[in-house]
Amino acid sequence: MTAPLYGLVLAGGRSRRMGRDKATLEFGGRTQLERAFDLLAALTSRSFVSVRQDQKDDPLRARFAQIVDLAGAPEGPAGGIMSAQQAHPGVAWLVVACDLPLLDAPALQHLIARRDPSRSATAYRSSHDGLPEPLCAIWEPSSAAPLAAALAAGGNCPRKFLLQSDTLLIDQLRPESLDNVNTPAELAALGTGAPSATAAARELRVQYFALLREQAGLRDEAVQTRAATPRDLYAELSARHGFSLTPEHLKVAVNAEFSEWNRPLVAGDTVVFIPPVAGG
Amino acid sequence: MSAFRFSHSPIDTAPLRAELVDTHCGGFTAFEGWVRDHNEGQKVTRLEYEAFEALGVREGERIIEEARKRFGVTQLLCVHRLGSLGLTDIAVWVGAAAAHRDEAFRACRYVIDEVKHRVPIWKKEHYVSGDSGWVNCERCAAHAGDHGHEAGHAHHHHDHG
């Protein structure tokens, strides 16, 4: 049986090279932490921010559901993942670092679609060195006990852990999607930041039915958006309206006909997200 | 008129049956879905149906066309009720007439089964307790706030054809 998928944003790093807290850096009007959290929240049933004990009252981090590192957990991403696994046993974790400004919903959706719950983890293969990317990966419950054992034995590197585990590695849709920023120069090189800024915003119409209509408090709305596909659009609207349904529960229609989730959207399209039906 | 329709008022079955009468047909069968007073352990007082009508009519017509081809039945009609319904009201009516009873039964069964799974119609149940819920949606939704549902995870087996 496939374990339910929760989201975990790792935001406990010391950001030594950046010289300031990477979680608070802004792209397109949102901090990196908010952006990463919204991506996960749209695709998982619950999401949390992983923090160190001394960060939990930090004003930005205090706005999110948190998983605080267990006392005695080694500082670093592996300790954060272990703390989440022990807080919610039996759950798989979609783990994402907060400093991946080019990460987008299609990249996460692709990872989820390729997930193999019978493996220890499903991870992207680094486009730089071919090794697993532990900080954009799905960690299955079966990895919890071996990870705790590895940490107890002093092995703090999550990448090495995935290399030595039964990890399914998949290729990235866009080789740059997991490039992170560690220095102010790298951040500046990204220019205005969000990759979606390259697509022009245009107006789409969205109609809501049933549970989504009630949660949005709207029957329809005109949306100015850069979302390229229905999948991107749902992630954006879900973050705005707090929808409880994730895309795996939904179908989508464009212009009153069923559509693929990755169909390119154009100005004037009418999009309807279809909750589980119950006629008869 | 389309062989798949939505009705915002109570379904009157006699004129629907009359539309299907045909001298080539030796058998007629109809299925009526009624509003019952319980579902999944809760006492139901009334229902509301809502549909994405533009897509619903298209998908409903596709289902009827599939049944025509599959069973060789030409006389088929399905009407689904929308709005607020009380107990015993007709929620959906399917009629099939054919040369012989077997095709009529099979075509009728095919249409109601596919309509339940494919047509964008949603049902909100109102319960004696005062609660209400969208059928097939609330368990998915409850999951987001209540990890007590983790073990079952049955909500992935909802009616999404």
Of A53 and B97, the structure prediction assigns the larger pLDDT to B97
Dmax (CA) for chain A in angstroms is: 61
Q: What is the average per-residue pLDDT within A53-61? A: 87
Q: How far, in Å, are A18, A26, A57, A58, A188 from residue A52 at the CA level?
A: 18, 21, 10, 10, 28
Of all residues in chain A, the one with the smallest CA distance to B125 is: A278
Looking at residue B117, its amino acid is: H
Digit-coded pLDDT (tens) for A72-102? 888 889 999 999 999 999 999 999 998 888 8
Residue with tokens 């585990």: A165
Bridge pairing between strands A132-139 and A92-97 = antiparallel
User: What was the pLDDT predicted at A156?
Assistant: 87
Every domain range in chain A assigned CATH 3.10.20.30: 199-274
Residue B121 forms contact with A (CB below 8 Å)? yes
Residue A67 and residue A48 in contact, taking contact as beta carbons nearer than 8 Å: yes
Q: Which structural domain, as residue segments, surrounds residue B148?
A: 4-157
Look at residue B81 and tell me whether its pLDDT is greater than 90. yes
Residue of A nearest to B111 (CA): A280
How remote is the C-alpha of A264 from its chain's centroid?
A: 21
pLDDT of residue A13: 72
Query: Is A276 at the interface with chain B, CB within 8 A?
Result: yes
Mutate: best of A1, A45, A46, A248, partner B, most B CBs <10 A: A45
B24-61 pLDDT, tens per residue?
999 999 999 999 999 988 999 999 999 999 999 999 99
Q: Can you tell me the ipTM of this complex?
A: 0.86
Mean pLDDT along residues A58-82: 90
A224, pLDDT greater than 60 = yes
Contact A209 B151 (CB under 8 A): no
- Subunit contact A276:B138, Cβ cutoff 8 A: no
Report d(CA A237, CA B5) in Å as an integer.
31
Mean pLDDT of chain B: 88
The chain A residue lying nearest B124, using CA atoms, is: A210
- In chain A, where does the domain assigned CATH 3.90.550.10 lie? 5-189
Q: What is the CATH number of the domain that holds B148?
A: 3.90.1170.40
Q: What is the pLDDT of residues A27-53, one digit of tens each?
A: 656 788 888 998 998 899 899 999 998
Q: How many domains in chain B?
A: 1
Of A73-77, A92-96, B84-88, B99-103, the one with minimum mean pLDDT is A73-77
A24: pLDDT confidence band, cut at 50, 70 and 90?
A: confident
The whole-number pLDDT of residue A28 equals: 59
A199-274, superfamily in CATH? Answer: Beta-grasp domain (3.10.20.30)
Residue with more model confidence, B138 or B57: B57
C-alpha–C-alpha distance, residues B131 and B44, integer Å: 10
Q: Whole-angstrom Cα distance, residue A100 to residue A120?
A: 23
**A121-125 and A132-139 as β-strands: parallel, antiparallel, unpaired?**
antiparallel
What pLDDT, on the 0 to 100 scale, is given for residue B147?
A: 34
Output DSSP code: residue A7: E
State the pLDDT confidence band at A196, using cuts at 50, 70 and 90: very low
CATH architecture, domain defined by A5-189? Alpha-Beta Complex (3.90)
